[in-house]
A = this chain, B = another copy of it.
């Protein structure tokens, strides 16, 4: 099976568990029925250790758990996963590895000596961050980006139905491969990371598209995932830009309509569109409409 096809995963509008209809009122005081997204507390275990409870949309709990552990550097890409079990009633997901992880060994040692240890992993994470060499030969044609925006913005999604969600899309050239959503933008990234690990997707030639702002955490996660190009409809923070420079990540923000801002990594961009004559009539963002 070729997993690298257009929208191999995408928002599942048939899953009625993800939204609920509420009775509300509009500006005239008239009753109106509104679909809203759910937010559930999901607890993630790594083997016997309880790691974290995250607030999430609730779909793809296995991918979220795996990706979270990976992006927090608690498991490594080449750790062998023996099982991922999800209990829908307890809202608990347990990721089991064949061997005890380095993180668990550290955690046990740390708890014995001085209490809480989760804060200590950040240093290790940044060590890995600094060691990563992103693919210098990866490319992003501006024509791909316009195509991606069009495909993503017109793909039926829970966001278009109910709002209040962030989306992340793993792309190759002008093809969106995996489109996930979540109430937390970091959860959406983690789901993508989990999907890539399970399906052994190589990051070197991929483009990561997100609806969220390009902050330090967003840049760190993309680099840890090994993806050389990060694109967002939203803006930048200074530390997001600084970290992108350190890692030589191509960082494109404010990608809306005809416009985009390349904050770092222009060398990977191929400007193959005559923007002046670009007709974006049919790419007008459906998201934009729902926000108005």
Query: Which A residues are within 8 Å of any B CB, using their own CB?
Result: 19-20, 22, 24-29, 32, 34, 36-40, 53, 55, 111, 115-119, 142, 162-164, 183, 213-217, 234-241, 254, 256-264, 266, 269, 271, 273, 275, 291-292
Contact = CB atoms under 8 A, between A and B. Distances in A.
Given A259-B27, A262-B24, A36 B236 contact: yes
Contacts of A118: 116
A27 B256 contact: no
Contacts of A238: 19-20, 22, 36-39
A105 B269 CA distance: 56
Nearest to A118: B116
Given A163-B254, A164-B236, A235-B164, A25 B261 contact: yes
B29 A237 contact: no
Number of copies: 2
A162 B39 contact: no
A30 to B, nearest CB: 10
A17 to B, nearest CB: 11
A55 to B, nearest CB: 7
A36 B232 CA distance: 15
A269 B27 CA distance: 10
A34 B236 CA distance: 10
B164 A22 contact: no
B163 A36 contact: no
Contacts of A264: 24
Most B Cβ at <10 Å: residue of A22, A111, A162, A257: A22
Given A27-B259, A257-B292, 16 more contacts: A27-B142, A27-B258, A29-B271, A34-B263, A36-B241, A38-B238, A39-B216, A53-B119, A55-B215, A115-B115, A116-B116, A116-B117, A163-B254, A164-B213, A164-B235, A183-B213
B163 A235 contact: yes
A189 B34 CA distance: 26
Most B Cβ at <10 Å: residue of A28, A164, A261, A291: A164
Contacts of A254: 163
A25 B142 CA distance: 12
A195 to B, nearest CB: 23
Nearest to A232: B164
